[in-house]
């Protein structure tokens, strides 16, 4: 007979399939398919709320739900930083150091049954990961779980939580890289293009820039066009704003990029 903390061959098979499938998760839709696919073999659920702490110490909350009753309002109430359910569960987890299981019909002084019903969660299986200072670094909260909230489920969650949060962190990192890539110039901004943008920032017209730099107005317009194409923008104001954001220009009080943000594209 297997020890309570050991897995059967069948359970090991489910776990192996879950972990192998996690290696193919690279996007949010992949993550959703993973938690509502292979993960269901050990933790059958409809709602997964999870979060990881970013580099600034902020807890990023995510939801992956197949329940049509769980709306945006429910989610925002659950993760509210002052009164949300996740805050309370995190505090209880820190005291217990083990998964927090709240069945659908639990009646206690905390009024859990009514609260979970109001939030369309029905039940909760929550677990977190802490750091050496005791602070929570990530969590997962499964709801509408279609299995007994017992020691066996607790064991599954303890085993899977590090892999789940590591996979989620990879997805969020990929999204951040993609966002950063979209902000990068499509080509190298030349010193002359930066010079032209500098004078645009200071409110000079193309004619004035041409006179200042000793160039033809057509050459100035071409430099500006090239810079806008590389910065992937449509107006002079947008080009200045993005160049400042990327560190190519310094902001100047004489003329803010926001003042030019509604200009028409260069003719």
Q: What is the pLDDT of residue 264?
A: 45
Residue 210's CATH number: 1.10.10.10
In a domain, 267, yes or no: no
Predicted TM-score (pTM) of the model is: 0.69
**Of the residues 154, 182, 210, the one at which a domain ends:** 182
**Percent residues over pLDDT 70 in the chain:** 88
| Claim to verify: residue 24 and residue 64 sit in the same structural domain | yes
Report whether pLDDT(49) > 80. Answer: yes
In a domain, 266, yes or no: no
**Of the residues 182, 205, 223, the one at which a domain ends:** 182
Domain hosting 131: range is: 9-182
Highest-confidence segment of 43-52, 53-62, 105-114: 43-52
| Claim to verify: residue 234 and residue 114 sit in the same structural domain | no
Average pLDDT, the chain: 87
| Claim to verify: residue 22 and residue 121 sit in the same structural domain | yes
**Percent residues over pLDDT 90 in the chain:** 63
**Of the residues 182, 206, 230, the one at which a domain ends:** 182
Q: What is the pLDDT of residue 76?
A: 94
| Claim to verify: residue 50 and residue 126 sit in the same structural domain | yes
In a domain, 3, yes or no: no
Q: What is the pLDDT of residue 253?
A: 45
DSSP character string of the chain: ---TTS--HHHHHHHHHHHHHHTT--SHHHHHHHHTTGGGGTS--SEEEEEEE-TTS-EEEEEEE--TT--HHHHHHHT-TTT-HHHHHHHHHHHH-S-EEE-TT---TT-HHHHHHHTT---EEEEEEE-TTS-EEEEEEEES--S--SHHHHHHHHHHHHHHHHHHHHHHHHHHHHHHHHHS-SSPPPHHHHHHHHHHHTT--HHHHHHHHT--HHHHHHHHHHHHHHHT-SSHHHHHHHHHHTTSS---TTS-GGGGTTPPPP-
In a domain, 88, yes or no: yes
| Claim to verify: residue 108 and residue 48 sit in the same structural domain | yes
| Claim to verify: residue 235 and residue 170 sit in the same structural domain | no
Total of domains in the chain: 2
| Claim to verify: residue 19 and residue 79 sit in the same structural domain | yes
Q: What is the mean pLDDT of residues 69-74?
A: 95
| Claim to verify: residue 72 and residue 202 sit in the same structural domain | no
| Claim to verify: residue 169 and residue 114 sit in the same structural domain | yes
Residue 84, helix vs strand vs coil: coil
User: Residues 152-189: pLDDT tens digits?
Assistant: 999 999 999 999 999 999 999 988 887 766 666 667 88
User: Residues 102-159: pLDDT tens digits?
Assistant: 998 765 556 788 899 999 999 999 999 998 887 889 999 999 999 999 999 999 999 9
Q: What is the pLDDT of residue 89?
A: 94
Q: What is the pLDDT of residue 106?
A: 64
User: Residues 228-265: pLDDT tens digits?
Assistant: 988 888 898 888 988 888 888 887 644 444 444 444 45
């Amino acid at each position: 007979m297997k020890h309570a903390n050991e897995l059967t061959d069948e359970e090991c098979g489910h776990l192996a399939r879950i972990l192998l499938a996690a290696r193919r998760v690279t996007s949010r839709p992949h993550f959703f398919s993973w938690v509502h696919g292979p993960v269901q073999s050990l933790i059958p659920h409809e709602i997964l709320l999870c979060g990881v702490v970013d580099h600034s110490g902020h807890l990023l909350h995510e939801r992956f739900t197949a329940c049509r009753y769980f709306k945006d309002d429910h989610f925002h109430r659950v993760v509210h930083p002052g009164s949300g359910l996740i805050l309370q569960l995190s505090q209880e987890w820190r005291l217990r150091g083990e998964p927090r299981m709240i069945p659908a019909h639990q009646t206690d002084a905390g009024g859990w049954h009514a609260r979970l019903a109001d939030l369309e969660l029905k039940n909760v299986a929550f677990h977190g990961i802490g750091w050496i200072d005791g602070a929570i670094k990530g969590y997962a909260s499964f709801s509408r779980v279609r299995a007994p909230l017992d020691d066996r489920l607790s064991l599954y969650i303890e085993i899977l939580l590090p892999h789940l949060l590591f996979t989620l962190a990879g997805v969020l990192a990929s999204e951040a890289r993609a966002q950063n890539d979209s902000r990068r110039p499509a080509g190298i901004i030349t010193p002359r293009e930066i010079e032209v943008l500098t004078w645009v920032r200071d409110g000079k017209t193309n004619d004035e820039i041409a006179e200042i730099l000793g160039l033809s107005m057509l050459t100035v317009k071409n430099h500006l066009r090239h810079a806008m194409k590389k910065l992937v923008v449509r107006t002079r104001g947008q080009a200045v704003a993005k160049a400042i954001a990327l560190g190519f220009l310094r902001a100047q009080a004489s003329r803010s990029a926001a003042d030019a943000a509604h200009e028409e594209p260069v003719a």
